[in-house]
Amino acid sequence: MESSPTVVDIHTHIYPPTYLSLLSSRTTVPYLLDLPDNSLPPRLIILPSDDDASIPPESRGRPIDASYSSIDEKVRFMDIHNIHSSVISLANPWLDFLAPNESASWARTVNDELEAICSQNKQNRLYAFATLPLSSSPEMIAAETTRLQQLPHIKGIILGTTALGSGLDDPVLNSIWSALEQTKTLIFLHPHYGLPNKVYGPRAAEYGHVLPLALGFPLETTIAFTRMYLSGVFDRFPALRVLIAHAGGTMPYLAGRIESCVQHERSFQAG
């Protein structure tokens, strides 16, 4: 009798309790907005466009219900869909909004909590992608990358496409790429905020998060990864391991076009 294939979900987000408490303590984006009706889940105000008092509270941001925070809900979902194991990760905006003097300690706290969540699952079905303190110095980011090797359930890191704020082709990231390469840490590359709001037109606010998520996320990912390629990141760090979220953005469809443009671009021909 043929056995069913093992299904591993590598893209499933969670907001652990300490992270939710951090968001609840804030009054500027990102923060949690409690609704007047306590039976409804709070809303995560994650984009600047969500922070608009003219929008009804129940329509702002996104609802953060138990599916984002409950491990029991996560495992129940896995059982329903015959998922053998899952790699959980913090969703955007991760810790990028924190001040440099705060982010390193928060990264350790959140990563240790993810490790504890996975280790406490008696069925050994949960693993995690850690988060890095991207507003800290490159040295502190590299230090956390090294420390993660001590956490057995951490299988990589989730990295936003804006990185330190200037994109993934920023030369300042070289020490971080080096640390990730040396530790053989898998990078799960994930979009952050999509594209600038103005590209969606003057009525974009009427459509909620549809345009940023459906279109902005895959295009943002494609642009970020292509910038890594064009700037020679993979030439300098050939053993770097990158997994692109959302089925590779639009890279599977545009890779040939990108390569053709590289071959005919004068700047690369001259080099």
Residue 240: give its domain's CATH number. Answer: 3.20.20.140
Among the listed ranges 2-6, 58-62, 65-69, 187-191, which one has the minimum average pLDDT value? 2-6
- Rounded CA-CA distance 115/148 in Å is 10
Average pLDDT, the chain: 92
**What are the structure tokens assigned to 38, written together?**
């306590």
* Amino acid at residue number 65: D
Q: Is the pLDDT of residue 271 over 60?
A: no
Contact 225, 233 (CB under 8 A): no
Out of 57-66, 104-113, 209-218, the most confident range is 104-113
In a domain, 67, yes or no: no
Lowest model confidence (mean pLDDT) among 2-16, 172-186, 231-245: 2-16
The residue among 69, 89, 82 whose CA lies nearest residue 243 is: 89
Q: What is the pLDDT of residues 122-143, one digit of tens each?
A: 788 999 999 999 889 888 998 9
Position 69 pLDDT exceeds 80:
yes
Q: What pLDDT was estimated at residue 50?
A: 87
pLDDT of residue 269: 63
Q: 206 pLDDT exceeds 90?
A: no
Residue 73 domain-assigned (yes or no): no
Q: Is residue 58 in a domain?
A: no
pLDDT in tens, 228-270: 999 999 999 999 999 999 999 999 999 999 999 999 987 776 5
Q: How many distinct structural domains can be found in the chain?
A: 1
Q: Is residue 189 part of a domain?
A: yes
Question: In this structure, is residue 2 part of a structural domain?
Answer: no
AA identity, residue 79: D
Is residue 21, in this structure, part of any structural domain at all? no
Question: 51 in a domain, yes or no?
Answer: no
Query: What gap in Å lies between CA 16 and CA 70, rounded to an integer?
Result: 8
Domain that holds residue 257: 84-270
The mean pLDDT of 109-120, rounded to a whole number, is 96
Backbone angles phi, psi at 184, to 5 degrees: 55, 40
- pLDDT band, very low/low/confident/very high, at 193 (cuts 50, 70, 90): confident
